[in-house]
Amino acid sequence: MSLVVMKFGGSSLANPDKIKHVAEKIVIKKRNNNRVIAVVSAPGDTTDDLIKMAYEINCNPPLREMDMLLATGEMISVSLLAMAIYSMGERVISMTGSQAGIMANKDYTRARIKKINPKKINDQLAKDNIVIVAGFQALNPIGDITTLGRGGSDLTAVALAAALESDLCEIYSDVDGIYTTDPRVVEDAKKIDYISYDEMLEMASSGSQVLQSRSVEVAKKFNVEIHSRSTFSENEGTIITSEEKIKGKKMESFLISGISFDKSQVKFTISALNVPGIVAEIFSLFYGVGISIDMFNQSVSNKSNIISFVVNRSDMNKTQEELNKITLNCEASISCDEYVAKVSIIGVGVKSHNIVAAKMFEILRKSGIGISMISISEIRISCIINESDVVKAVEELHKGFGLSKK
Amino acid sequence: MSLVVMKFGGSSLANPDKIKHVAEKIVIKKRNNNRVIAVVSAPGDTTDDLIKMAYEINCNPPLREMDMLLATGEMISVSLLAMAIYSMGERVISMTGSQAGIMANKDYTRARIKKINPKKINDQLAKDNIVIVAGFQALNPIGDITTLGRGGSDLTAVALAAALESDLCEIYSDVDGIYTTDPRVVEDAKKIDYISYDEMLEMASSGSQVLQSRSVEVAKKFNVEIHSRSTFSENEGTIITSEEKIKGKKMESFLISGISFDKSQVKFTISALNVPGIVAEIFSLFYGVGISIDMFNQSVSNKSNIISFVVNRSDMNKTQEELNKITLNCEASISCDEYVAKVSIIGVGVKSHNIVAAKMFEILRKSGIGISMISISEIRISCIINESDVVKAVEELHKGFGLSKK
């Protein structure tokens, strides 16, 4: 008898019919001789609605209270889903994060899981119960409810799969897996059968929104195999697993697994006299106010210092303010390009094949797309280009690296 | 510095403006040199909405899951109210029933409070925090959430007032206290300044819906003075306290404190041959299926046995079914009168003054109202009359016992 963790997102639980559909999938899994733990998010738009309510009352709500509020969404899901399963004649019990033994640190709204005490879940599984766990929430050392940040239910599912040594962790959503690129942009995008943890991480951090990055990190650390698949079809989705396992499964290896892009970027450029320590100052100030820098370039000559970097568009105004502070006492000009985007190619091929970078730049050049910044990691190459070129760039790269269906 | 428990019902918390208004009342109380614990119900129709959702999914939802679901309503209230108070610059912390140390027995959806462990609340009060506690919910011995039944937030407030030995327990609602009778029926109804626990209990159990009966029982047991008052005015409401205290406050004592009525009643009459044990059988069968009998009469002669009793209208069909079982094997006729109501006069005067009963019957007789059943307790006399006579009966009794404003 296998132990399976199934995770369902909010859009799969948005109304009573959808909840019943999810209940059926869980019951079928159980009847196929599995022990089942289901992890769920808040139904539909509940979390957004609760956040909106909070801001109507306090434009800067205390984080502890925010977590108390948001945790209710998942409690609604677990109880309703348990009721639906119960009406199908199966034994079932719902649990809050706290009841499921998920312990986190004190950081409200973005807590990290410290430990899972699986006793209560194991007891219920031993009684032949299906166990439904509220995702996204945990208990901190002082007995408060904390939440794990956006997409935190994925993390709950993977962490439970690791702690309980489950045989499989299925993450259900409204898409049927990971694609070579966004199928809404490139019609020809292909579903990927297998992808490594590292590739998935790069995909997630460079724009793909199917899985939360932290959950992939934990899956990698504890070697949890994830199956990302659709709630609304029986098709196989994408298996996220270790590179070794994939090598054994794939007949031929592909240089590149996918193309991702991110349009929520703005690029700043500072031209200043060579002021010593200005870079350290930028990083330290930005860290203090929570702005995270994505790509960073500096070219220094005797006389001048040109610094470029990219931040998320939501941080644009804050960034401008901080830069004004820094450049107040030195001669410097700041420019901001709002209309940029990042396009990335991801694949284990990057690290072993120099030709990949050359090929990427050549494809973009041939398409008449200029590159204003480049960053290269082990398995990813990202370029900053004009926002208006994104679709063309993704299409050409997708075709050029042989990812299209044909 | 006094300790005050303030309880606010759902209609006082139905939208952001109302939540802010309640926050202000709490903050003013705090700034008037009090330590404050606020107990709150779920906002507006939340509980009813959640129940409706549950029944859409399972027409017979498991009670444990129902409690998991319903507890979310009060968690929404406590967190939003804490956010509102926080924005007014006061220190505040919200707590679930479990965090507040409210321990109950295992009876899901109608749990009884077994113990309160006030350590966590006391710690927070000592830190000068306003403490906001989710009413209606508790933790049972196996770590599950249980709820205390309809009106359970009143009970939470009174129980906390008792456990923490608070100086005052204020129960806020959308009415400004207890009236001599329902002011929607008798325009002339007067607000009562002081009422004893026993009188309040009789009022609550005979139709008045301002306070939950169990909370009054607990208040009596632990001698907690309740102030029932309006969220939306500054007027003094009604003090519910011991008979002794009231004696000291009132210049003259009134025979009767109030008139209550209940139209949700049906009366059954069984005429049977004198079958031994039929009464025991009725009570035992009804207990088994959860029908509670209100008034009960039996007249026995050598040959016949006439039994009349009153039940709540919601139990009418179930009652009919059970009676059919009983009378299956004996010659008996069952009749049911759907159009009856119970009108009651309540006051400490009943026990010490025989004249009260006589006066009640005389008033009804003069008004041409027939009485079909009578029950008399220490401080209450109830009569079953035709439903169509209720308004007239209440008006005449209200006038006859000198309760009108003029």
Q: Do A53 and B16 touch (CB under 8 A)?
A: yes
Residue-range definition of the domain harbouring residue A339: 259-400
Query: Residue A250 has what pLDDT?
Result: 60
Report the DSSP pairing between strands B194-196 and B238-241: parallel
Q: Do B61 and A54 touch (CB under 8 A)?
A: no
**Size of the A and B interface in Cβ pairs below 8 Å:** 110
Question: Are A282 and A372 part of one and the same domain?
Answer: yes
Question: Are B165 and B265 part of one and the same domain?
Answer: no
Question: Are A219 and A283 part of one and the same domain?
Answer: no
Question: Are A197 and A267 part of one and the same domain?
Answer: no
Residue B216 lies in a domain: no
pTM, to two decimals:
0.86
Q: Do A19 and B99 touch (CB under 8 A)?
A: no
Looking at A231, A249, A267, which one is the last position of a domain? A249
Question: Are A196 and A268 part of one and the same domain?
Answer: no
Query: Residue B253 has what pLDDT?
Result: 56
- Residue B317 buriedness (CB in 10 A; 0-12 / 13-18 / 19+): exposed
- Residue B275 buriedness (CB in 10 A; 0-12 / 13-18 / 19+): middle
Indicate the SS3 state at residue B274: coil
Q: Please provide the DSSP assignment of B350-403 as one string.
A: HHH-THHHHHHHHHHHHTT----EEEE-SSEEEEEEEGGGHHHHHHHHHHHTT-
**Shortest distance, CA B69 to any CA of chain A (angstroms):** 5
Query: Residue B254 has what pLDDT?
Result: 63
What's the whole-number mean pLDDT along residues A17-22?
A: 97
Q: So what's the ipTM on this one?
A: 0.83
Query: Residue A253 has what pLDDT?
Result: 56
Per the listing, tokens 């031994």 go with: B276
Q: What is the CA radius of gyration of chain A?
A: 23
Indicate the SS3 state at residue B106: coil
Domain count, chain A: 2
B75 touches A at CB < 8 Å: yes
Residue B233 lies in a domain: no
Looking at A249, A267, A290, which one is the last position of a domain? A249
Looking at B132, B147, B174, which one is the last position of a domain? B174
B71 CB neighbours in chain A (<8 A) are 75
Residue A405 lies in a domain: no
Task: Select the residue of B60, B79, B145 nearest A65 (Cβ to Cβ).
Answer: B79
The tens digit of pLDDT for each residue in A176-193 reads: 899 999 888 888 899 999
The encoded tokens of residue A124 equal 């219920």
Question: Are A272 and A186 part of one and the same domain?
Answer: no
Pick from A322-326, A369-373, B16-20, B59-63: least confident: A322-326
What is chain B's pLDDT, residue by residue, as a tens digit (406 residues)? 899 999 999 999 999 999 999 999 999 999 999 999 999 999 999 999 999 999 999 999 999 999 999 999 999 999 999 999 999 999 999 999 999 999 999 999 999 999 999 999 999 999 999 999 999 999 999 999 999 998 899 999 999 999 999 989 999 998 889 999 988 888 889 999 999 999 999 888 776 777 888 999 999 999 999 999 999 999 999 999 998 888 766 655 567 889 999 998 999 998 887 767 788 888 888 888 888 888 888 887 777 788 899 998 989 999 998 888 887 777 788 999 999 999 999 988 787 767 888 899 999 999 999 998 998 888 899 999 999 999 999 999 999 998 887 6
Which amino acid is located at A87 in the chain? Answer: S
Question: Are A225 and A342 part of one and the same domain?
Answer: no
The encoded tokens of residue B351 equal 């026990």
Question: Are A104 and A138 part of one and the same domain?
Answer: yes
Residue B188 lies in a domain: no
- Give the length of chain B: 406
Residue B13 lies in a domain: yes
Q: Do B87 and A54 touch (CB under 8 A)?
A: no
Question: Are B164 and B271 part of one and the same domain?
Answer: no
C-alpha B266/C-alpha A256 separation (Å) is 77
The tens digit of pLDDT for each residue in A122-153 reads: 999 999 999 999 999 999 999 999 999 988 99
The tens digit of pLDDT for each residue in A27-75 reads: 999 999 999 999 999 999 999 999 999 999 999 999 999 999 999 999 9
| Strand boundaries in B274-360, DSSP class E | 293-300, 304-312, 332-346
Residue A406 lies in a domain: no
Query: Residue A255 has what pLDDT?
Result: 76
Average pLDDT, chain A: 91
- Residue A230 buriedness (CB in 10 A; 0-12 / 13-18 / 19+): middle
Query: Residue B93 has what pLDDT?
Result: 98
User: Of chain B residues 129-168, which have a CB less than 8 A from chain A?
Assistant: 143-145
Question: Are A203 and A275 part of one and the same domain?
Answer: no
Q: CB neighbours of B379 closer than 8 A, spacing ≥ 6?
A: B198, B199, B202, B346, B347, B348, B350, B351
Question: Are B6 and B143 part of one and the same domain?
Answer: yes
The tens digit of pLDDT for each residue in A241-276 reads: 998 888 766 655 567 889 999 998 999 998 887 777
Residue B211 lies in a domain: no
Residue B393 lies in a domain: yes
**Residue (of A101, A54, A92) closest to A73 by Cα position:** A54
The encoded tokens of residue B242 equal 């011991």
Give the torsion sign (CA, A121, A125, A127, A132).
Answer: positive
Q: Which CATH number covers residue A82?
A: 3.40.1160.10
Task: Select the residue of B16, B53, B94 nearest A65 (Cβ to Cβ).
Answer: B94
B71 touches A at CB < 8 Å: yes
Query: Residue B398 has what pLDDT?
Result: 93
Task: Select the residue of A58, A79, A144 nearest B68 (Cβ to Cβ).
Answer: A79
**Shortest distance, CA B58 to any CA of chain A (angstroms):** 6
User: Of chain B residues 109-128, which have a CB less than 8 A from chain A?
Assistant: 120
**Residue (of B71, B49, B256) closest to B156 by Cα position:** B71
A136 CB neighbours in chain B (<8 A) are none
A85 touches B at CB < 8 Å: no
Question: Are A219 and A292 part of one and the same domain?
Answer: no
Helices then strands, each counted (H, E), chain A: 13, 18
Query: Residue B351 has what pLDDT?
Result: 75
Query: Residue B327 has what pLDDT?
Result: 77
Q: CB neighbours of B19 closer than 8 A, spacing ≥ 6?
A: A57, B13, B43, B77, B80, B81, B84
Q: Which CATH number covers residue A356?
A: 3.30.2130.10
Q: Do A69 and B76 touch (CB under 8 A)?
A: yes
Distances in whole angstroms, Cα of residue B406 to Cα of each of B187, B190, B345, B392: 12, 10, 19, 18
